[in-house]
Structure 1
Amino acid sequence: MTLVNSAYRLKDNKETRRPFVLAAVMLAMFMGAIEATIISTAMPAIVGDLGGFSLYSWVFSSYLLMNAVTVLIYGKLSDLFGRKPIITTGIIIFLIGSLLCGIAGSMEQLIFFRFIQGLGAGAVMPLATTIVGDIYTKEERAKIQGYLSSVWGISAISGPAIGGLLVEFVSWRYVFWINIPLGLLAIAGLHFFLHENIEKKKPAIDYVGATILTISISTLMFILVEGGVHIAWSSWEAISLILISSAGIVAFILYEKRLDEPMMPFELWKSRSILVANVVSLTTGVMLIGISSFLPAFVQGVMERSATIAGFTLTAMSIGWPIASTAAGRLLLKIGYFKTSLIGGVSLIVGSIFFVTMDPADGPLWAACGSFFIGVGMGLTSTSFIVSIQSNVEWKIRGIATATNMFMRNLGNTVGAALLGGILNSRIQAYIEKNGTEGMNIDTVNLLLDESKRQELSSTVLKTLQEGLTVSLHWVYISVLIFAVISFIFIIFIPRKE
């Protein structure tokens, strides 16, 4: 068997067994990917049990923050010490966080445990993708990366369905505990079948850059979530937080450019194909979190359907995602990166239009159609970008190059959860203040997401809450459409010659 890099050929007379490594990698990716869809379906039940609707988006934001910040550090560590020990460490931390999330007794505890879960998740996705880029040839990567992208689709099929069934018949806590056997199997596969022969280098970890980035993103997330809800946009607190975040981002860019081995190698961005891939990964990350996080709340709270039906609307995304990912591997070889990505960009816009025009009377099928087109767009673009990036860099920087692209998508998820969650909270609060009855506030929406409590609401209160949630989510989906258009515009600038 001929492998791409000598680092994977032999170690102590052991040879890396690619099919088994691929299976372990896909299992690890599935574990991380299913987390995004399975918890979305469970969130209405979690809020109904623990309360704290105003903290709804923080359950996503806390996880995504640590994921986004650590992904670059893990990518750099994997280039220094090898992929295997770093991804294994990440999976172990992720499993510890999953165990703790399942025993959370309050929304605040759940948010803290999600930080731990995100700390480990930062290693899983980028390093799983990087390992495949290492052990397969350039010609093989298009097909194999299509398989990896389809993992997102498969997780979207099983995630909402499993999440809905667990919520209805067992407990929402099992949506976290289900990760544990998956993670242990992935660790075992990597331990027995992936053998590296890496020349370890002296560590040069950019802790200062990581600290600056963490402070900048955390501050930005906080004001995006709380702005217009608990902090007035015109207040000195809001202005100060915006200035701190902006100054931190500028300081991070200037500092990274001075380093020989930066956490974020901006030199990579000089390639137009990599620049476009990273920017569009950011914008599509915002879109993805906007759909997966808030659609179940609409289906359950406004359409009054079960968690299983809410899961079905997200499941439709997976039908398009794996089909598109598989097709992308072939399309890349026939029509190139530009046309493949362009088709994906059009699909993202079509899917977003479905959500913007969605009415409660349309039913779950309309929402499922929008999810399907979003899935097609994500499958085509994500596969194109990963193959393009890994084909343009050499092994010694492939880990950080792949991690940078993952970071941009995670950053999009992070900012998107905060931004769109802030829009949702502020719009609901404004609607309740204008149309609500005495004693009603944003946390009253908790009652809407618990079926038994919803049935006890008066018709007036029920109508007010449902209309408020509908209007608020409409603004969220308008924002998703705007990001879809931005994605399409950037895709136009992908070099045609590739």
Structure 2
Amino acid sequence: MTETVEGRWAEIFGPRYLPVTLILCLGVSLFAFNAFLSSTALPSAVQELGGVEVISWATTLYLVFAIVGGAAAAMLKRRLGSRWSLLSMAGMFLAGTLIAAVAGDMTQVLAGRAIQGLGEGVVAALCFALIPELFPSRLVPKVFGMQAVVWAVAAFGGPAGAGALTELISWRAAFLINVPLVLIFCAMVLAVVPRGGKPVDAHGFPGLRLLAIGGGTMLVALAAVAPAAQALALLLVAAVVLATAVWLDRRSQERLMPPDAFSSRTAVGSGLWMFLLMPIAGATTGVYLVLILQQVWDYGPTHAAIVGAVMAIGWSLSSVTVANVRKRSTRRILIRTGPVLLAVGLLSVLAGLQFAQPVVLIVGQLLIGMGFGISNGYIMLTIMESSSDVERDRTSALLPTTQSAGNALGAALAGVAANAAGYAAATTQQAMLSAIVPLFAVGVVFAVLAFLAGLRLVQLSKTATIATFAEE
């Protein structure tokens, strides 16, 4: 096999693919940076504008509208084409940025964040949809590896950069830094992204389904801050609403998702389940670890945040390391191993906390990151390869949306588990350590469910590969 067939890192940074690589990384980095923006810039905003009671909604609305935008991305791509979809939604993101940056009260900030989320949700989803369109399959794992690095950099650089801008200039500058980045992004899109073919004719607007997706996601967000009993009820209603949205979409002429989305009978459906379940499991540490370290071990915010970010290091390094794997059999092993490392990592973090062993905890964080890093790229690649050419746009665009939904649902379930175990009311170290056991148990359960979905994905993809070779 030649180097060209295998694919090399130098290719995605070479003259042919470098502009596309930069566009995709910039599109994803805007989403990642702004997802981490609120925690550092908005506390200063509420000091100036008031409205501390709604500060959490700045993040909630951004993510909810990003999920809705991601769900609509494939439809917009079919109607407007890739170029004009990216440009128009980048313009919407820019408008939301300016509204938030010049806001006179927190209501305007929240409106700007919602508009930001809607625009950037579409941009991020389209950047995923363009990967199989603009890159050969041999380079796709490396592109995913680069995007993992972008997320890791955003996890570190997002809060730090926003904090520096807020401290040195103003919280408004943390929003306005997006302006030159968006303009650069738009210029590159005009220069690189092809116009595409003639847009398809429209068949109505899927308003009811988008409303159901947005409403279901909002209920999940409300569950994250509600008392345990109410939160469980909200999650059950949210599950019904979101399942109804999927059911309606399968019967629609203008579908937002592939017809086998979340079906256990196909590789695409099983892969999407895996892509949803792993973030739910990972939310256990993603949401609570920094807080636990501050309360149980008396770590300062910076120290706790650094330990929390170890997961991102493990994710990015492992993703880049396995990007050269070419054998399908090895890729399937990585897919199955990812949830196992995630479960072992969660148990290691719990053991480190219970027995006051920081090294064990850090190893657990690395394992959690590696679980995502070694499997995510090949889960996505397998889903894309299993999707038909007609459905590939819908399938690819649904990937970041599914991951965001998993993060939101995981945060809510983690909150339910922690509140039900009495974590919020615990006043002693021992009480806190006892209360977090159910929290980690929930994470491990979802990691096991992700492993089962991975077994199904591997089985179905292997069957499809054998059938393809038989036909040839």
**What TM-score do you get using the length of structure 1 for normalisation?**
0.76
Aligned residues of 1:60 and 1:417 also touching (Cα < 8 A): no
Task: Look up the SS of the partner of 1:201 in the other structure.
Answer: coil
Moved more, 130-139 or 92-101: 92-101
- SS of 2:343's equivalent in the other structure is helix
In the alignment, the residues of structure 2 paired with residue 475 and residue 101 of structure 1 have an alpha-carbon distance, to the nearest angstrom, of 39
Q: How does 1:435-454 map to 2 (within 5 A)?
A: none
Once residues 369 and 50 of structure 1 are traced to their aligned partners in structure 2, the CA distance between those partners, rounded to angstroms, is: 42
Listed as ranges, the matches of 1:4-43 within 5 Å are 18-37=17-36, 39=38
Shift of 1:175: 4.7
| Bigger mean CA deviation after superposition, 159-168 or 288-297 | 159-168
- What is aligned with 1:488? 451
**Paired position in structure 1 for 2:244:** 251
Q: Deviations over 1:36-74 (max 9, x none)?
A: 445456788889999989867644432222122221211
- Secondary structure of the residue that 2:196 maps to in structure 1? coil
* Letter of the 1:355 counterpart: V
User: What is residue 264 of structure 1 aligned with on the other side?
Assistant: 257
Contact 1:22 1:132 in 2 (8 A): no
Alignment of 1:273-422 (within 5 A): 273-300=267-294, 303-333=297-327, 335-359=329-353, 362=356, 368-422=362-416
Q: What's the CA shift for 1:346? A: 2.1
Residue in structure 2 matched with residue 72 of structure 1 by the alignment: 71
Do the aligned residues in 2 keep the contact of 1:299 with 1:364 (CA within 8 Å)?
Answer: no
Report SS of the residue matched to 2:260. Answer: helix
How far apart are 1:472 and its partner, in Å?
Answer: 5.7
Say if 1:41 and 1:296, in contact at 8 Å, map to a contact too: no
1:133 aligns with 2:132: yes
Q: Give, in angstroms, the shift of residue 264 of structure 1.
A: 2.5
Query: C-alpha distance in 1, partners of 2:31/2:396?
Result: 16
Alpha-carbon distance, 1:160 to partner: 4.8
Inter-partner Cα distance in structure 1 for 2:305 and 2:363: 13
C-alpha distance 48-362 of structure 1, shift in aligned 2 (>3 A)? farther
Q: Tell me the amino acid that sits aligned with residue 198 of structure 1.
A: G
Q: Secondary structure at the match of 1:494?
A: helix
Separation of aligned partners in 1, 2:161 and 2:152? 14
Per-residue deviation, 1:401: 0.8
- Give the 3-state SS of the residue equivalent to 1:266 in structure 2: coil
Instruction: Report what 1:91 is aligned to.
Output: 90
Deviations 1:6-52 (A, max 9, x none): xxxxxxxxxx9632122121111122123344545678888999998
Structure 1 residues 37-46 or 90-99, which shifts more? 37-46
Cα gap change, 1:342/1:36 in structure 2, threshold over 3 Å: closer, same or farther?
A: farther
Using the TM superposition, give the Cα deviation of residue 489 of structure 1 relative to its aligned residue in structure 2, in angstroms.
2.4
Alpha-carbon shift at residue 106 of structure 1 (Å): 7.2
Sort the Cα spacing of 1:210 and 1:389 in 2 relative to 1 into closer, same or farther, 3 A: same
Paired with 2:423 and 2:327, the residues of 1 have a C-alpha distance of 50
Aligned partners of 2:82 and 2:196 also within 8 Å = no
Matched, 1:210 2:210: yes
Q: 3-state DSSP class of the match of 2:199?
A: coil
Moved more, 121-130 or 269-278: 269-278
Unaligned runs of 5+ in 2: 1-14, 466-472
**Matched residues, number:** 445
| C-alpha spacing 1:333/1:192, structure 2 compared with 1 (3 Å) | same
- Normalising to structure 2: TM-score of the pair? 0.79
Give the direction of change, closer, same or farther, for the CA distance of 1:105–1:355 in structure 2 (3 Å limit): farther
SS at match of 1:359: helix
SS of equivalent residue, structure 1 residue 320: helix
Amino acid at match of 2:207: Y
Counterpart-to-counterpart distance in 2, 1:493 and 1:315: 31
Aligned-partner Cα distance in 2 for 1:478–1:276: 23
* Partner SS state of residue 226, structure 1: coil
Going from structure 1 to structure 2, the CA distance change for 1:167 and 1:280 (only over 3 Å counts) comes to: farther
- Does the C-alpha gap of structure 1 residues 105 and 175 become closer, same or farther in structure 2, counting only changes over 3 Å? same
Distance 1:351 1:151, change over 3 A: same
Asked if the contact 1:153/1:375 (under 8 Å) is kept, the reply is no
Matched with 2:149 is 150
After superposition, what is the alpha-carbon deviation per residue over 1:321-349, rounded to whole angstroms, capped at 9, x for unaligned? 22222233222536343211122222211
**Residue 188 of structure 1: CA displacement?**
1.8
CA distance in 2, matches of 1:471, 1:84: 53
Cα distance between partner residues in 1 of 2:356 and 2:167: 24
Question: How far apart, in 1, do the equivalents of 2:357 and 2:44 lie?
Answer: 20
CA distance in 2 between counterparts of 1:83 and 1:330 reads: 29
Call closer, same or farther: CA 1:114–1:421 in 2, change over 3 Å. farther
Whole-Å separation in 2 of the counterparts to 1:318 and 1:281: 17
In structure 2, what residue type is equivalent to 1:196?
R
Distance change in 2, residues 1:49/1:284 (3 Å): farther
After superposition, the C-alpha distances for 1:217-250 in whole angstroms (9 at most, x for unaligned) are: 333443453243xxx549xxx86x5675455345
2:457 match: secondary structure: coil
Query: Could you tell which deviates more after superposition, 317-326 or 38-47?
Result: 38-47
Runs of at least 5 residues in structure 1 that lack an aligned partner in the other structure:
1-15, 433-463
* Residues 347/111 of structure 1: CA separation in 2 closer, same or farther (3 Å cut): farther
How far apart are residue 161 of structure 1 and its match?
4.4
Q: CA deviation at 1:180?
A: 3.4
- Change in CA separation of 1:169 and 1:366 when aligned onto 2, cut-off 3 Å: farther
* Pair 1:356–1:47, CA change in 2 (3 A): farther
CA contact (8 A) 1:424 1:476 kept: yes
Contact kept in structure 2, 1:167 and 1:307, CA below 8 Å: no
* Residue in structure 1 matched with residue 9 of structure 2 by the alignment: none
Report sequence identity in percent. Answer: 24
The range that moved more, 418-427 or 111-120, is 418-427
Contact persistence 2:277–2:446 (CA under 8 A)? yes
Alignment of 1:427-466 (within 5 A): 431=425, 464=427
Structure with greater contact order relative to length (CA < 8 Å, sep ≥ 6) = 1
